[in-house]
Structure formats: C-alpha cells, structure tokens
C-alpha cells in the first residue's frame, strides 16, 4: 500500500513529521516540488531505518551481525559510515568504537529492557570491542572482515549519515533550502523562504521544554550527544546510553551534552559521541588540532562552553547557565 505522509505549510515552506529511527523526524523544505521531495525523503529514511539498525532481525546491518563467516559483502552506505566512524575512532583513541555493540546490548539499550550487567560480564565483553579489527576491502564491491564473535552498531553515526543523504537528495531535486531534524541531529542548508537563516535551538539537557540558546546558521550539521537522550535509573543510580569503550560503563565526566557544528552530518555525529566520552579537555585538544568543527559543551555545573567559531551565530537564552567562548589559541 502506498504510504501517505502529512504535509503542513508554514511561512511559505512545507514540513512533514514522522517517527523512525527511534526518534521524531521533521523535514522542512523551501521548494516548489515539495510533494515529491518529502515523499522521497520519507521513503529514504524508512529504508535506512531498517538497514542501519543493529537491533533489526533482517536488513543490511543485521546481515553483517548475523554473518556465518568472517567476511561479508556490504553496501556502499554501510562502508561510508564505517570509514568515517573509524577515522573518528582513531582521532579519539577509541572513545568512539562501533564494535561496542555487545556491550550496548548487555545494558539493554536496543531492547529497552535496561539492566546493569554484572561486572564480570562487562569485563568479558570488553574483549570484543576493538575497532582496529574492522577490515574493509574494496574489490568489485565493498567487503567487510571482522572476527565472528564481534558485532557492529551504527547507532552513533547512522542519523548523521541519513541527514547527509537527505540533504543531497533535496539539493539534487532543486530545493532552495531545508531543515532536517532527526532527534538530536539537525542539518540545515540554503535559506528559508523569506531568505533568512535557519534558527536551531540548543536543548537544555536538564529540561526538555527549555532551550539554552539559538544558532542562526546554514549549510551545517548541528549534532548533539547527551546523557539525557536515553537513560534509566536502577537502585537510585543513573545510567545512560553512551558507553566508554575503555571501561564498558556509561561515560562519566563533567559533561551533560556535546554539540558539534560542522559540514558533514556523519562526521558531526561520530564526533559528538566520541567527544562526549572523552570529556572537555581531551576534546578541545582535538578541536585545536583538526580545526574542522566547532563545539558546544554543556557541563553538570551549569556552564556552557562555545568555541569561538560560533561567536557570531550563537545567542544565549537562559539565565540558568553561565556562557563562555573558548578562544582558539
Ligand atoms: P549518539 O546518540 O550519536 O551519541 O550515539 C549513541 C549510540 O551509539 C548508543 O545508543 C549506542 O547504540 C551507540 N554507542 C554507545 N556508546 C558508543 C561508543 N562509545 N562508540 C560507538 N557507539 C556507541
Ligand atoms: Mg553520534
């Protein structure tokens, strides 16, 4: 049956909203051919949602995780994500590691049947986490080799990649501008119908109803990772979904959230997860060295640190937090 999507008009632009990838998705476009473009976008997301999810029973990533020999053919889409993830794994010395899936599963995040694994189980599963064992070969088509007991999770990068692919689909179809929102992943390009920039809110990690500030921006991905996004409490202790591959436990440092602002959604998504694990000090060393992204940190002691490349686009809106710009020297 042909899926119907609901389209709303606002300020001369068109929006569709739907639920996929475990999150609410909103696509707004400034485009005369909006009907076809929004429908094509919906179809693309539905296809990706199923092929990039480690928790699906069938699909491209499930096929990798259910492989019966070490090497399997993989799609171009999966190859592209693995390459960017592995680049960021190297940059962050393994703070991002897409082979963390056995641990992610043990904590019950995919099934939402959350539990604190026994420490011995965590120690055993840590031996299955090592991105350097991923071997992608390019012959006629891409092929992945990985020890049989290891598994891959693209949860840290798939939404960013989907944002990139939606943006290129919309641009190819002639859209003049768009805002693509997949939960904590936002991507904007071109201009709004009134020729103004897009306004992207920075969420208060401690209050879902509040925003801490606004970015007036275009042609960027704005991707946030935070402990507030998925978590549970057991015996009065708080556990969240971003695991530190060095310990097997949820990352524990001064941060509540990390927002990356850069061109590529996939790179932004990989970095946001990796830098959340690393903490602010180590992350800033990478920022200074690479100079290819900007970042906003929100810390547990109610401070917001913003790298100076965003000083013209960021406006603070909260008096509950102190705001600081970080100079690049
Ligand atoms: P994100 O929301 O982009 O920060 O990604 C978090 C998701 O990535 C989690 O829900 C897990 O599926 C997976 N994940 C958790 N910790 C890591 C990690 N250290 N490296 C790679 N993926 C992770
Ligand atoms: Mg991420």
CA nearest to 21, candidates 152, 155, 151: 155
Query: Is 241 close to ligand 1, i.e. is its CB under 6 Å away?
Result: yes
Q: How far is Cα 298 from Cα 189, in angstroms, rounded to an integer?
A: 25
- Residue 105 near residue 149 (C-beta atoms within 8 A): no
pLDDT in tens, 183-219: 989 999 999 999 999 999 999 999 989 999 999 999 9
10 CA to middle of ligand 1, Å? 34
> Does the beta carbon of 272 sit less than 6 angstroms from any atom of ligand 1?
yes
Take residue 176 and report the two structure tokens written for it. 């003049």
User: How many A from CA of 278 to the centre of ligand 1?
Assistant: 13
Does the structure show a pLDDT above 80 at 1?
no
Ligand nearest to the CA of 105: 1
Phi, psi of 209 (to 5 degrees): -80, -10
Ligand 1 atom closest to Cα of residue 89: 20
Distance 32 CA to ligand 2 centre (A): 32
What pLDDT shows up at residue 140? 84
Q: How many CB atoms lie within 10 A of CB 69?
A: 7
- pLDDT surpasses 90 at 250: yes
pLDDT, tens only, 34-92? 999 999 999 999 999 999 999 999 999 999 999 999 999 999 999 999 999 999 999 99
Q: What is the pLDDT of residues 232-246, one digit of tens each?
A: 999 999 999 999 999
Query: 100 in ligand 1 pocket by Cβ < 6 Å?
Result: yes
Two structure tokens written together for 112? 């939402």
Long-range own/partner contacts, residues 33-40 (CB < 8 A, 24 or more apart): 33/173, 33/174, 33/175, 34/7, 34/175, 35/7, 36/173, 37/169, 37/170, 37/173, 37/175, 38/5, 38/7, 38/14, 39/5, 40/169, 40/173
Distance 85 CA to ligand 2 centre (A): 9
What is the per-residue pLDDT for 281? Answer: 98
Q: How far is the CA of 276 from the centre of ligand 1 (A)?
A: 10
Q: Which ligand is nearest to the Cα of residue 266, counting in written order?
A: 2
User: H helices within 107-255, ranges in order?
Assistant: 119-126, 158-172
**Mean pLDDT score of the chain:** 97
Among 87, 100, 160, say which to mutate for ligand 1: greatest number of ligand atoms within 8 Å of CB: 100
Q: Distance of CA 120 to CAs 210, 303, 312, Å?
A: 40, 36, 49
pLDDT band, residue 2 (cuts 50/70/90): low
R_g over Cα of the chain: 20
Q: 313 in ligand 1 pocket by Cβ < 6 Å?
A: no
pLDDT digits (tens, 9 = 90+) for 124-143: 999 999 999 999 998 789 99
């Amino acid at each position: 049956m042909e899926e119907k999507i609901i389209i709303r008009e606002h300020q001369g632009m068109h929006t569709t909203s739907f639920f996929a990838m475990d999150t609410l998705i909103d696509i707004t476009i400034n485009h005369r051919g909006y009907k076809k473009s929004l429908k094509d976008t919906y179809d693309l997301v539905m296809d990706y949602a199923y092929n990039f999810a480690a928790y699906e029973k069938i699909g491209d990533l499930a096929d990798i995780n259910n492989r019966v020999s070490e090497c399997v053919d993989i799609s171009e889409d999966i190859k592209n994500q693995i390459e960017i993830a592995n680049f960021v794994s190297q940059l962050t010395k393994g703070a991002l590691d897409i082979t963390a899936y056995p641990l992610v599963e043990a904590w019950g995040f995919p099934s939402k049947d959350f539990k604190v694994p026994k420490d011995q189980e965590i120690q055993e599963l840590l031996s299955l986490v090592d991105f350097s064992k991923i071997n992608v070969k390019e012959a006629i088509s891409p092929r992945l080799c990985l020890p049989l007991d290891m598994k891959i999770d693209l949860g840290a990068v798939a939404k960013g990649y989907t944002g990139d692919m939606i943006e290129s689909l919309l641009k190819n179809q002639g859209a003049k501008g768009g805002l693509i929102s997949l939960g904590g992943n936002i991507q904007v390009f071109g201009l709004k119908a009134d020729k103004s920039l897009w306004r992207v809110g920075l969420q208060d990690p401690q209050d879902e109803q509040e925003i801490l500030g606004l970015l007036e921006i275009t042609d960027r991905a704005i991707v946030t990772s935070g402990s507030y996004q998925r978590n549970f409490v057991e015996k009065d202790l708080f556990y969240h979904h971003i695991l530190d591959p060095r310990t097997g436990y949820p990352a524990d440092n001064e941060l509540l959230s990390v927002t990356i602002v850069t061109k590529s959604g996939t790179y932004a998504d990989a970095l946001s997860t990796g830098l959340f694990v690393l903490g602010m000090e180590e992350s800033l060393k990478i920022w200074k060295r690479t100079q290819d992204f900007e970042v906003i940190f929100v810390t547990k002691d109610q401070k917001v640190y913003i790298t100076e490349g965003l000083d013209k686009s960021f406006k603070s809106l909260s008096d509950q937090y102190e705001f600081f710009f970080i100079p690049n020297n």
